[in-house]
């Protein structure tokens, strides 16, 4: 029994070998027919007929060791109906594939004619036709490498032969079992600077950065493959192509294009299976133009898209739900006359060459000057194209498909045009005016003496004074007496509540018109200028879910903030009040959660400033007459720089129960500490219970701990406020709780950004991660907590605006 299979296989091998030697080359008198195959000299490749799908036969080339891996197909669009085909070589050197009826289904096209042609499958997998008589055997009349299918083998070229105008590119199979041409192509885009592009039809899916004279930029990730293959890039007057060779000749490797992008596959020494070494287009930032115009993709950030400095989303609503397609536009429009400069952005994939110009052999300074001269130039950079001096690249119009790389990838920098206001500089023209006037003042000083100097100084001061008062006008100043009258001299009956920085009063300006007045404590220690600065800052924030600041009032020591009046007071008056709870059904509660999330997203990411609220809690959520939520009390809010993510303070201000661990313990606050507070708030709204002071007969955890325990026991619904029976959809509630738990996770890094929160709340289909342990998940001793956190709300009335 044991001997039989052995005899069997050796017999088969013998047969194959005989066929192979019989058909090593094709000449006009010797076609290969039906199941004959052509074998390359070193036996790596075979060519012959193979079937794919249902009753379709193709002429192809495949690996001898891997008959399933077809690397080239001749008659992709025109299959044979059966295996009775023959490949013949005509007298003039054209390969022709004939079907059973001797009709031609495919033929090679070449402009050259051979005297005495012979066809041969080379060891590289290249099927060539050459002239037997030709002295140099390397000159081919036709070669299959010039007409790639979906695979790029070693020695194949991807790109242009400028002499013949022929472009070689890969075209995917329709699917794994259908070799006919699919929608995807991969080739050399010969726009001013060459770059490799994967496209689906006419739409780009991925591109490398442009050729910079030394290498293709913007593909640092594929450098890992340098250990296996050595890339070859040729760009001169006759040729432009990409090719590669294996570093270790015993490693078999190929590049394959399919729906999932470009993959580099290898068979390692001693192995008999193919492994995927890398896939181009392997992360979100590789998708062409994923962030839209004038934005940058940062793979380590969440969400990945950011507008470039000085730009804002074209559509806040779309941006808020992570739809970045419409991109960003300038916050402050450019004004070429007023003077501009450039902002350097380091280590990026250069934008696509859509409206683009290259100037060879200029210095970087000339490049900058050239870009500055032309008002339509929005960005420039240098590159090593051209000999000697570097070249100058300039973009006009939208900047598409930029991404940021890691520090150590050492990609290129780009310089983007900005108005001075975005660079924090005064106008250059302004500077010049000052310079000139100072110079003339000096000369006048010499000529005319002190008097003139004095006049100029006085004039300038006057100018500044008038400019300052103009700025003040942005926010209405209310008269102290009017306010006093409207609040009945700050009478107790008009008092609405006590905020962090002092009492809040209701005031009726007229019979119908109400406002809310917050009278700041006198010991706030804040100067008039600081107060004004802050008030103007808050007044600029305009969002449906933020309470609107109408103006302020300053008189002597008195500081007051005037807000729109919210008849329904604050959220805590509803959710924690047994008699009013039921007024907020599940739908309404969900709307309130969504509203708060939107307001917070605006503060964090969508307003001109980046604001950390630091004191988000139920009593700071006001409700208007339709119970729409409005975030209020920016008393301890902090402004962050656009790129700042975290700050530290020695004085921890805020409200226990809502503070994240890193803030309460280390004084570190960030957008993620606001997210924590939001999570607490969300769970409070769902449960109708306060986080702080929460008691449960079975354990001593806070509300967060309680929610987490229930969640892990699959009993999330038990967290629900019992008065909500019947008004909710189970799935929605569980989803909400899950999002709440994600927001209160212990590690700030793991909490989602508000943009993701809004997205998750708004999209039922979004897949949510499983939450991890919440912050402060340690059981309190029954009294311990109150020792730790002494007085409920700590309020220190210093408002720090930076
Ligand atoms: C196509 O394949 C199916 C199943 O694989 C088979 O039943 C059918 O006969 C085939 N059709 C032709 C025309 O070969
Ligand atoms: C070579 O011959 C084939 C048919 O025999 C013909 O179709 C083809 O056009 C010829 N090629 C040239 C370059 O003359
Ligand atoms: C096809 O051509 C070959 C060789 O010229 C010939 O032997 C064969 O009979 C032809 N077949 C048909 C169906 O004409
Ligand atoms: C491949 O595409 C053909 C049609 O082009 C289709 O009939 C076939 O089912 C597809 N096969 C797979 C595996 O998707
Ligand atoms: C361009 O480069 C190719 C490959 O190195 C070479 O064969 C060809 O001669 C070059 N052309 C010119 C004009 O230098
Ligand atoms: C994103 O916005 C664009 C244009 O504003 C719109 O056409 C597209 O449908 C949106 N995509 C999604 C997934 O909502
Ligand atoms: C400015 O740049 C645009 C776009 O690159 C170009 O079309 C135009 O000719 C340039 N103008 C000048 C004066 O160089």
The answer to whether the beta carbons of residues 382 and 390 sit under 8 Å apart is: yes
| 727 belongs to a structural domain | yes
Contacts of 234 (CB under 8 A, 6+ apart): 240, 241, 243
Residues 184 and 105 grouped into a single domain: no
Residues 616 and 760 grouped into a single domain: yes
Tens-place pLDDT, residues 628-658: 999 988 777 888 877 788 888 877 777 888 9
Calculate ∠ Cα 724-725-726, nearest 5°. 110
Number of neighbouring beta carbons within 10 Å of residue 248: 11
108 CB less than 6 Å from ligand 2? no
DSSP 609: S
Higher-confidence position of 150 and 732: 150
CATH (domain of 389): 3.50.4.10
Mean pLDDT on 514-543: 74
Q: Which residues pair with 528 in a beta bridge?
A: none
Mean pLDDT on 553-582: 86
175 CB less than 6 Å from ligand 4? yes
Tens-place pLDDT, residues 2-60: 333 333 333 333 333 334 444 478 888 788 888 888 888 888 999 999 998 778 999 99
Residues 409 and 306 grouped into a single domain: yes
Higher-confidence position of 275 and 457: 275
Calpha distance 316→604 (Å, rounded): 13
Residues 113 and 217 grouped into a single domain: no
Mean pLDDT on 208-222: 74
| pLDDT class of 524 with cuts at 50, 70, 90 | low
Mean pLDDT on 284-304: 89
How high is the pLDDT of residue 509?
78
CATH (domain of 232): 2.90.10
| pLDDT class of 107 with cuts at 50, 70, 90 | very high
Across 70-79, 129-138, 299-308, 393-402, least confident range: 129-138
Number of neighbouring beta carbons within 10 Å of residue 445: 14
| 680 belongs to a structural domain | yes
How high is the pLDDT of residue 271?
81
Residues 636 and 675 grouped into a single domain: yes
DSSP 211: B
| 503 belongs to a structural domain | yes
Residue nearest to atom 3 of ligand 1 (CA): 54
Q: Give me ligand 1 centre to Cα 148, in Å.
A: 30
Integer CA distances (angstroms), 474 to 461, 545, 696, in order: 21, 22, 51
Residues 752 and 666 grouped into a single domain: yes
Ligand 1 closest atom vs CA 54: 1
User: Which residues form the domain of 21?
Assistant: 1-147
259 CB less than 6 Å from ligand 4? no
Higher-confidence position of 661 and 541: 661
113 CB less than 6 Å from ligand 2? yes
| 339 belongs to a structural domain | yes
Number of domains in the chain: 5
Mutate to test the pocket of ligand 1, among 55, 79, 82 (most ligand atoms within 8 A of CB): 55
Active site amino acids: 615
54 CB less than 6 Å from ligand 1? yes
How high is the pLDDT of residue 796?
31
| 429 belongs to a structural domain | no
Q: Is residue 462 scored above 50 in pLDDT?
A: no
Contacts of 211 (CB under 8 A, 6+ apart): 193, 194, 195, 217, 233, 235, 385
Residues 692 and 791 grouped into a single domain: yes
Q: Is residue 788 scored above 60 in pLDDT?
A: no
How high is the pLDDT of residue 356?
92
Q: Is residue 548 scored above 90 in pLDDT?
A: no
Tens-place pLDDT, residues 113-154: 888 899 999 999 999 998 887 766 678 999 999 999 999 999
Residue nearest to atom 14 of ligand 5 (CA): 236
How high is the pLDDT of residue 159?
95
| pLDDT class of 799 with cuts at 50, 70, 90 | very low
CATH (domain of 588): 1.10.510.10
Residues 560 and 636 grouped into a single domain: no
How high is the pLDDT of residue 465?
41
Higher-confidence position of 494 and 46: 46
Mean pLDDT on 336-350: 87
How high is the pLDDT of residue 452?
45
Q: Give me ligand 7 centre to Cα 376, in Å.
A: 7
How high is the pLDDT of residue 1?
35
Residues 172 and 266 grouped into a single domain: yes
Residue that finishes a domain, picked among 510, 533, 565: 565
How high is the pLDDT of residue 22?
40
* Percent of the chain scoring above 90 in pLDDT: 35
Mutate to test the pocket of ligand 5, among 239, 241, 243, 387 (most ligand atoms within 8 A of CB): 239
| pLDDT class of 386 with cuts at 50, 70, 90 | low
CATH (domain of 560): 3.30.200.20
Residues 617 and 523 grouped into a single domain: no
Q: What is the average pLDDT value for the chain, to the nearest integer?
A: 81
Higher-confidence position of 785 and 735: 735
Number of neighbouring beta carbons within 10 Å of residue 632: 26
Calpha distance 647→653 (Å, rounded): 13
Highest mean pLDDT among 57-61, 356-360, 775-779: 57-61
How high is the pLDDT of residue 425?
57
Tens-place pLDDT, residues 360-374: 888 888 999 999 999
| 449 belongs to a structural domain | no
Q: Is residue 74 scored above 60 in pLDDT?
A: yes
How high is the pLDDT of residue 261?
86
How high is the pLDDT of residue 468?
41
Q: Which ligand is nearest to the CA of 176?
A: 4
Residues 499 and 524 grouped into a single domain: yes
Mean pLDDT on 507-523: 79
Residue that finishes a domain, picked among 423, 440, 456: 423
Residues 100 and 157 grouped into a single domain: no
Residue that finishes a domain, picked among 423, 451, 486: 423
Higher-confidence position of 623 and 724: 623
Q: Give me ligand 7 centre to Cα 307, in Å.
A: 26
239 CB less than 6 Å from ligand 5? yes
| 82 belongs to a structural domain | yes
237 CB less than 6 Å from ligand 5? yes
CATH (domain of 11): 2.90.10.10
Q: Give me ligand 6 centre to Cα 351, in Å.
A: 22
Higher-confidence position of 447 and 596: 596
Strands (E), 86-169: 86-89, 95-98, 104-107, 117-121, 127-131, 140-143, 151-152, 158-161, 166-168
Contacts of 337 (CB under 8 A, 6+ apart): none
| 484 belongs to a structural domain | yes
The answer to whether the beta carbons of residues 165 and 236 sit under 8 Å apart is: no
Higher-confidence position of 679 and 218: 679
């Amino acid at each position: 029994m044991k001997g039989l299979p052995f005899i069997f296989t050796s017999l088969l091998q013998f047969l194959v070998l005989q066929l192979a030697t019989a058909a090593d080359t094709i000449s006009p008198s010797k076609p290969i027919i039906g199941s004959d195959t052509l074998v390359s000299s070193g036996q790596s490749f075979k060519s012959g007929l193979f079937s794919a799908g249902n009753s379709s036969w193709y002429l192809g080339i495949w690996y001898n060791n891997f008959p399933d891996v077809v690397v080239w197909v001749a008659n992709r669009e025109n299959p044979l109906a059966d295996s009775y085909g023959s490949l013949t070589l005509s007298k003039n050197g054209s390969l022709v594939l004939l079907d059973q009826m001797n009709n031609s289904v495919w033929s090679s096209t070449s402009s050259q004619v051979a005297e005495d042609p012979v066809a041969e499958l080379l060891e590289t997998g290249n099927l060539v036709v050459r002239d037997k008589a030709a002295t140099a055997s390397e000159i081919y009349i036709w070669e299959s490498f010039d007409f790639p299918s979906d695979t790029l083998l070693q020695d194949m070229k991807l790109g242009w032969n400028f002499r013949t105008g022929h472009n070689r590119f890969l075209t995917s199979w329709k699917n794994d079992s259908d070799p006919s041409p699919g929608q995807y192509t991969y080739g050399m885009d010969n726009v001013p600077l060459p770059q490799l592009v994967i496209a689906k039809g006419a739409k780009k899916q991925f591109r490398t950065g442009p050729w910079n004279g030394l290498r293709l930029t913007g593909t640092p990730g594929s450098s890992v493959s340098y250990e296996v293959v050595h890339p070859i890039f040729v760009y001169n007057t006759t040729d432009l192509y990409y090719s590669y060779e294996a570093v270790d000749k015993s490693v078999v490797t190929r590049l394959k294009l399919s729906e999932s992008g470009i993959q580099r596959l290898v068979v390692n020494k001693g192995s008999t299976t193919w492994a995927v070494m890398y896939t181009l287009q392997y992360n979100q930032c590789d998708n062409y133009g994923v962030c839209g115009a004038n934005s940058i993709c940062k793979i380590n950030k969440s969400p990945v898209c950011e507008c470039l400095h000085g730009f804002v989303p074209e559509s806040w609503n779309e941006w808020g739900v992570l739809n970045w397609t419409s991109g960003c536009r300038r916050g402050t429009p450019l004004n070429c006359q007023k003077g501009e400069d450039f902002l350097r952005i380091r280590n990026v994939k250069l934008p696509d060459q859509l409206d683009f110009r290259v100037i060879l052999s200029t210095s970087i300074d000339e490049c900058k000057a050239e870009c500055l001269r032309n008002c339509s130039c929005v960005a420039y950079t240098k590159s090593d194209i051209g000999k000697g001096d570097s070249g100058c690249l300039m973009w006009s119009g939208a900047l598409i498909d930029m991404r940021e790389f890691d520090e150590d990838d050492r990609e290129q920098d780009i310089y983007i045009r900005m108005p001075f206001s975005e660079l924090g500089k005064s106008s250059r023209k302004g500077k010049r005016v000052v310079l000139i006037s100072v110079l003339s003042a000096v000369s006048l000083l010499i000529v005319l003496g002190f008097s003139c100097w004095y006049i100029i100084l006085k004039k300038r001061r006057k100018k500044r004074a008038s400019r300052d008062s103009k700025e003040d006008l942005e926010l209405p100043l209310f008269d102290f007496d009017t306010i006093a009258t409207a609040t009945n001299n700050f009478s107790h009956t008009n008092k609405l509540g006590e905020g962090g920085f002092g009492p809040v009063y209701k005031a009726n300006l007229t019979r119908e018109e109400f406002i809310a007045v917050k009278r700041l404590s006198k010991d706030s220690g804040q100067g008039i200028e600081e107060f004004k600065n802050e008030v103007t800052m808050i007044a600029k924030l305009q969002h449906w879910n933020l309470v609107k600041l109408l103006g302020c009032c300053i008189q002597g020591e008195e500081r007051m903030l005037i807000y729109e009046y919210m008849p329904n007071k604050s959220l805590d008056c509803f959710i924690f009040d047994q008699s009013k709870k039921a007024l907020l059904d599940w739908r309404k509660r969900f709307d309130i959660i969504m509203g708060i999330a939107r307001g917070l997203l605006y503060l964090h990411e969508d307003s001109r400033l980046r604001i950390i609220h630091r004191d988000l809690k139920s009593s700071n959520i006001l409700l208007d007459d339709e119970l729409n939520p409005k975030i209020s009390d920016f008393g301890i809010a902090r402004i962050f720089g656009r790129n700042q993510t975290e700050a530290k303070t020695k004085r921890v201000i805020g409200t226990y129960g809502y503070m994240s661990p890193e803030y309460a313990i280390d004084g570190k606050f960030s957008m993620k500490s606001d997210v924590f507070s939001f999570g607490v708030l969300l769970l409070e709204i769902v449960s109708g219970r306060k986080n702080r002071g929460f008691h449960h007969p079975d354990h001593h955890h806070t509300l967060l701990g309680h929610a987490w325990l229930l969640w892990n026991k699959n009993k999330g619904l038990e967290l629900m406020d019992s008065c909500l029976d019947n008004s909710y959809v189970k799935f929605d509630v569980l989803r909400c709780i899950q999002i709440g738990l994600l927001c209160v996770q212990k590690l700030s890094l793991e909490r989602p950004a508000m943009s993701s929160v809004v997205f998750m709340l708004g999209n039922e289909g979004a897949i949510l991660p499983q939450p991890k342990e919440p912050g402060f998940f340690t059981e309190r001793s029954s009294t311990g907590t109150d020792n730790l956190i002494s007085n409920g709300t700590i309020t220190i009335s210093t408002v720090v605006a930076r």
